[in-house]
Amino acid sequence: MSLQSASLKRGQGSLHFPPSAMQSIDRWRLQQTGFIHSLRQNSSLQRTGVFLLAAGAGLLPLMAGSAKAALTKMPTDGADTLLMLMGSALVLLMTPGLAFFYGGFTRAKNVLNTMMMSFFLMGLIGVLWVVIGYSLSFDLGFKSPFIGGLGSMFLNGVGGELGDAPLADGFAISATSFALFQGMFAIITPALISGAVVERINFKAWFWFSLLWSLLIYCPLCHMVWGGGYIGPFGEIGAIDFAGGTVVHIAAGVAALVSAAIVGPRSSYPESKRPPHNVPFILLGAGLLWFGWFGFNGASFFAAKGAGFSFLTTTASASAALLTWCLIEWFTDGKPTAVGAATGAVAGLVGITPAAGFVYMGPALLIGALSAAACLIAVRVKMETKLDDSLDAFMVHGIGGTVGALLTGLLAAPALVPADYFPKSAEILAKGGNIALFGAQFKAVLITFGFVGLGTAIILWIVGAVVGLRVSPQEEERGLDFIAHGEEAYDPMTF
Amino acid sequence: MKLITALIRPSRLDAVKTALVDASIVGMTVSEVRGFGRQKGQVERYRGSEFTIDFLPKAKIDVVVEDGQVETAIAVIETAARSGDIGDGKIFVVPVEQVVRVRTGERGSSAL
């Protein structure tokens, strides 16, 4: 996505990185493609190429059709920065929204624990991001295509002395607003995983798991896809991911699948299965998620003037997905359900995430409809298995994210994937068309599945060996609200 | 004196209360209860998973009346609570040995 690129730029223009280091990492990146390689002949062109690579879809409005425009040192723009600040607030709201979405599905005795698994991360990952997460994702200190660096710990130097410096040349958003925006993504991603392991995981295990997963899986993946690393538009693979289909949704979904398998099903699952204890919570949560997704996808455009476009594809896909899910239920089960409407909307939002800035409205509607259909089928297939992905985290985020990433390859409009910004991706599109880009997306999906799947398993084994993953069956029966937090959501007499 | 216990649909509670008051039968205790009879629960569906809900919510009304009012009270409740579908509920009548008004210590009918 454009964001990651942006971070690179910050590093380049940056106040705390020696230009020579930046140049060498740029050179490394340039060598990745022949296209870029040729640019090396001309230093000014090279500079252009680098900056544009670092840019992303978000810079399109700034370019105004001219590659040089993006290179211009721009003053920080108030409207664009405000978009990022507003977007950050919107994305933050998705985490409590997710807490309600998940909390509604569980039993009344586990609702606080379920909501805390998301809500708590606003503390834990919020601190982690400022201290080291941002640096590992977007710093360039290690000169590695797989991990960032340590130079931006505590957001040192980000945004200059007054915090109002632009992200990099060609960017009119402030570097601080970018760091904030990215932090909100880092918070919600591990929260998404919790849906797979609710009602039996030990909260201490969740604390260590989300901390380690964020450091060892999220930050490197963020760097690989968005930070100028291996998978992204200026890396080896050349895949495109507008707002986190890979980094956020596939990663969280695969981690959820692996977690559900390793942590194991709830005691006496599936006999112990109960209906959602509070369906209005589910609708409230889905509504907040949709609202917040305007920031997640919409603000990822990085420029206020053109962001209406990414806002539109986002909501169009969600609408199509909600409608699709309900219509399928209506035909197959006789009634459209509220839970189905909420789930369908989320599936559509997940599906459009990698594509939001790369497709027009027709494809956006199609992505929404197909994501919903795929997730609905996945949920029903899961019901036939012993796998207890309790709240369908993989079925919605993993499947929806994968379908979205692959459809992004098939449906991306070449005009929206300009060579300046996405050299490798545009080259793939120009040579092999959408089928070839589909291939690149497929490779990115496979790499993510492998990296996240293996990494998550290792982290879970370590956490399991040190603190234990599950509560005892007796504690499970008593309810995790009291066991983990000493609280109850409701008067026990109303059970 | 008789204790009339009626288990009815929660949605008919207001109608039953109004009908009893209109028939000059005042004073009642209402509780939220769950149970099933011949209706045997209902099937609900969430994300495609079917759940059979065995215990359905009902409203329980307890009202104590003079022997002479029993048939009136039963008729009023029956009419107001009836929808004609399965699940309309039941009415039980049991004798009451003593009634005490706590505030005054009155006993029997005058305590009602």
* Chain B residues with CB-CB distance to A376 below 8 A: 48
A276 vs B46: CB contact, 8 Å cut-off? yes
pLDDT > 80? residue A39: no
Architecture of the domain spanning B2-111? 2-Layer Sandwich (3.30)
- Residue pair A234/A6 in contact (Cβ under 8 Å)? The answer is no
CA dist A238 → A15, A51, B69 (Å): 29, 16, 85
**Cα gap A92→A102, rounded to integer Å:** 16
* Chain A residues with CB-CB distance to B51 below 8 A: 273-275
B47 vs A343: CB contact, 8 Å cut-off? yes
Mean pLDDT taken over chain A:
86
B45 — contact with chain A (CB < 8 Å)?
yes
pLDDT greater at residue A454 or residue A424: A454
pLDDT digits (tens, 9 = 90+) for A46-60: 333 333 333 333 333
pLDDT greater at residue A15 or residue A490: A490
**Cα gap A312→A297, rounded to integer Å:** 10
Structure tokens at A472: 């005892």
Report the percentage of chain A scoring pLDDT > 90. 74
pLDDT > 80? residue A484: yes
* Chain B residues with CB-CB distance to A335 below 8 A: 45
Q: What confidence score (pLDDT) does residue A493 get? A: 57
User: Pick from A93, A99, A447: which is nearest to A247 by CA?
Assistant: A447
A333 vs B49: CB contact, 8 Å cut-off? no
Q: What confidence score (pLDDT) does residue A25 get? A: 35
Of the residues B46, B47, B53, the best mutation for testing chain A's interface (the one with the most A CB atoms within 10 Å of its CB) is B47
Q: What confidence score (pLDDT) does residue A377 get? A: 97
B45 vs A379: CB contact, 8 Å cut-off? no
pLDDT > 70? residue A138: yes
A333 vs B51: CB contact, 8 Å cut-off? no
pLDDT > 80? residue A369: yes
pLDDT greater at residue A97 or residue A6: A97
Q: What confidence score (pLDDT) does residue A22 get? A: 35
Q: What confidence score (pLDDT) does residue B36 get? A: 86
B47 — contact with chain A (CB < 8 Å)?
yes
At residue A64 the predicted structure's pLDDT band, cuts being 50, 70 and 90, is very low
pLDDT digits (tens, 9 = 90+) for A317-330: 999 999 999 999 99
Q: What confidence score (pLDDT) does residue A128 get? A: 98
Structure tokens at B75: 């008729």
DSSP track, A277-317: S-HHHHHHHHHHHHHHHIIIIIGGG--TTTHHHHHHHHHHH
B32 — contact with chain A (CB < 8 Å)?
no
Q: What confidence score (pLDDT) does residue A167 get? A: 86
Structure tokens at B1: 């004196």
Q: What confidence score (pLDDT) does residue A12 get? A: 34
3-state secondary structure of B56: strand
Q: How far is CA A117 from the centre of its chain?
A: 18
Q: What confidence score (pLDDT) does residue B50 get? A: 87
pLDDT digits (tens, 9 = 90+) for A387-442: 999 999 999 999 999 999 999 999 999 999 888 778 889 999 999 999 999 999 99
pLDDT > 70? residue A13: no
Nearest to A337 among B45, B51, B53 (CB): B45
What's the whole-number mean pLDDT along residues B50-55? Answer: 86
**Cα gap A50→A36, rounded to integer Å:** 8
Buried b (16+ CB within 10 A) or exposed e, A228-252: bbbbbbbbbbbbbbbbbbbbbbbbb
3-state secondary structure of A419: coil
Residue of B nearest to A338 (CA): B46
pLDDT > 50? residue A464: yes
Q: Which of A27-41, A115-129, A259-273, A467-481 has the lowest mean pLDDT?
A: A27-41
Contacts for B105 with CB less than 8 Å, ≥ 6 apart: none
Residue of A nearest to B32 (CA): A494
Report the percentage of chain A scoring pLDDT > 70. 84
* Chain A residues with CB-CB distance to B48 below 8 A: 329, 333, 376, 379-380, 383
Residue of B nearest to A377 (CA): B48
Of the residues A277, A283, A332, A337, the best mutation for testing chain B's interface (the one with the most B CB atoms within 10 Å of its CB) is A337
Q: What confidence score (pLDDT) does residue B26 get? A: 86
What domains sit in chain A, N to C, each tagged with a CATH number? 2-59 (no CATH), 78-154+177-486 (1.10.3430.10)
User: Pick from A79, A436, A380: which is nearest to A238 by CA?
Assistant: A436
What's the whole-number mean pLDDT along residues B43-48? Answer: 89
What's the whole-number mean pLDDT along residues A272-292? Answer: 95
B21 — contact with chain A (CB < 8 Å)?
no
Q: What confidence score (pLDDT) does residue A492 get? A: 62
Nearest to B46 among A275, A376, A380 (CB): A275
Q: What confidence score (pLDDT) does residue B95 get? A: 97
At residue A30 the predicted structure's pLDDT band, cuts being 50, 70 and 90, is very low
ipTM above 0.90, yes or no: no
What's the whole-number mean pLDDT along residues B23-48? Answer: 88
Helix A2-13 and helix A19-30, axial crossing angle in degrees, nearest 10: 140
pLDDT digits (tens, 9 = 90+) for A142-194: 988 899 999 999 999 999 999 999 987 767 899 999 999 999 999 999 999 99
